[in-house]
Structure 1
Amino acid sequence: MRRIPPQQRREELVAAAIRVMAQRGVPAATTRAIVAEADMPLGAFSYIFGTQDELMHAVIETVTEQERFAAQAGSIAATSVEAAIRNGLNAYIDLLVAHPERELVSLELGLFAARHRTMKETPTQWETYFSSGAQMLQYAADLTRTRWTAPTAELARPLVAFIDGITLAWLADRDTDAARRTAAFAAASIASHSRPLRTQEVRDAH
């Protein structure tokens, strides 16, 4: 049997769960199917994850963190908050195009759980998205010396709604240019709730 550090084993189980769900759907992601895909013994699952709910929550966190990292990396060179959001959304679209199976799994997981109410962690899935969206908006503001005129927690909800819409539409028609146009519209809409920091506000921030 392979000797694998616990963190690596955790990552491999998460990756295996994503592959199983991408290929066969969420209902097929049984514990046995996941450990078989990961080439691990059944006992390895319970050693790393107490329940399947914990694994599914780890899948959500992993996908969300990858999205946030990509969006932040894409925003670095922006000189306005609108450009930062647009660049971040375009970086997300790049990730979507490169790995559509991960986004499909994320959406299916939330819809499956909402229908069956089988995952105790499910109510936190969109809360995770909202929290990540609020962090991205604050990052964009800090990057471009901008102040939001509404709480980031409120603005994160339409941002996440735009992202969900972009994802669903792209998965349906694979029209990347249309997805980028929607991203530009979303960035302009969200950025309309911001204003540049005044000189004194910039000094106070430092």
Structure 2
Amino acid sequence: MRRIPPSQRREELIAAAIRVIARSGVAAATTRAIVTEAQMPLGAFHYIFENHDELMSAVVETVTDQERFVAETRSVDATSIEAALLSGVNGYIDLLAAEPERELALLELGLFARRQNADGQMRTQWESYFGTAAEVLQYAAELTRTRWTAPLPDLARLLVASLDGITMGWLADHDTAAARRTAAFVARALAAHAEGSDADGPATASGATRERHPDDD
């Protein structure tokens, strides 16, 4: 049996789960199917994860974190908020085109959870997306010294809804050029709700500049 560190074993189990879910659906992604895909004994799974649900949560968390990493670390055009947003969304499209099974797995997990419980894991999953989108939008605003003029939670929902649409469209037709045209439209639409910063500094998470304090003078 291979001797690999727990952190690597965890990554391999998550990757195996993504492949199984994308290929055969959540119902087929049993613990045994996942360890077989990962070429590990069943005992290795229970050494890393307490149960199947914990692994499914790890899949969502891992893919979401990787998407945020791509959006925040790729070469970003910081000349304007629109350019910065377009860089981030195009980075997501690059990731989607390179590894579509990741997004298939997330969609499968969300829909499966919704059928099981209307107020359960799917809500939690999308709340994590909204939170990540808000972080990315705030990062873009700080990078370009602009501030949002609309509530950040509303803009985050708009970004998530747009990315969901881009994802579904690309999975249906694999038209990357069309996806990038949609990305440009989304970037323009979001940028319409931003304006340049003033002397008070970057925006806060709520979209308003901080109040000036007498000690600032």
Task: Give the TM-score range, shorter chain.
Answer: over 0.9
The equivalences for 1:49-64 within 5 A come to 49-64=49-64
- Measured after TM superposition, the shift of residue 3 of structure 1 is 2.2
Corresponding position of 1:140 = 140
- For the structure 1 residues 150 and 75, does the alpha-carbon distance in structure 2 shift closer, same or farther, using more than 3 Å as the test? farther
- Measured after TM superposition, the shift of residue 118 of structure 1 is 9.8
CA contact (8 A) 1:78 1:87 kept: no
- Measured after TM superposition, the shift of residue 121 of structure 1 is 3.9
- Measured after TM superposition, the shift of residue 120 of structure 1 is 5.6
The equivalences for 1:36-185 within 5 A come to 36-74=36-74, 76-117=76-117, 121-185=121-185
Deviation per CA, 1:166-204, whole angstroms, max 9, x where unpaired? Answer: 0001111111111111111111111111111013436x9
- Measured after TM superposition, the shift of residue 75 of structure 1 is 5.4
- For the structure 1 residues 32 and 118, does the alpha-carbon distance in structure 2 shift closer, same or farther, using more than 3 Å as the test? farther
Q: Secondary structure at the match of 2:201?
A: helix
* Percent identity for Structure 1 against Structure 2: 64
Q: Secondary structure at the match of 2:147?
A: strand
Deviation per CA, 1:132-188, whole angstroms, max 9, x where unpaired? Answer: 100000110010001111232221001000000000011111111111111111111
Task: Give the aligned length.
Answer: 205
Tell me which amino acid in the other structure corresponds to 1:12: E
- Matched residues in 1 for 2:101 and 2:88: separation? 20
Q: Secondary structure at the match of 2:150?
A: coil
Tell me which amino acid in the other structure corresponds to 1:141: A
- Measured after TM superposition, the shift of residue 115 of structure 1 is 1.1
Q: CA RMSD in A?
A: 2.0
CA contact (8 A) 1:17 1:29 kept: yes
- Matched residues in 1 for 2:37 and 2:112: separation? 21
Tell me which amino acid in the other structure corresponds to 2:149: T
TM-score (norm 2): 0.88
Which consecutive residues of structure 2, in runs of 5 or more, have no partner in the other structure?
A: 203-208, 211-215
CA contact (8 A) 2:68 2:136 kept: yes
- For the structure 1 residues 132 and 147, does the alpha-carbon distance in structure 2 shift closer, same or farther, using more than 3 Å as the test? same
- Measured after TM superposition, the shift of residue 72 of structure 1 is 1.5
Q: Secondary structure at the match of 1:28?
A: coil
* Higher helix proportion: 1
CA contact (8 A) 2:114 2:121 kept: no
Tell me which amino acid in the other structure corresponds to 2:168: L
Which consecutive residues of structure 1, in runs of 5 or more, have no partner in the other structure?
A: none
Q: Secondary structure at the match of 1:26?
A: coil
Deviation per CA, 1:48-106, whole angstroms, max 9, x where unpaired? Answer: 11121110111011111111111112353321111111110011101111111111111
Tell me which amino acid in the other structure corresponds to 1:113: A
Structure with the greater alpha carbon radius of gyration: 2
- Measured after TM superposition, the shift of residue 123 of structure 1 is 2.7
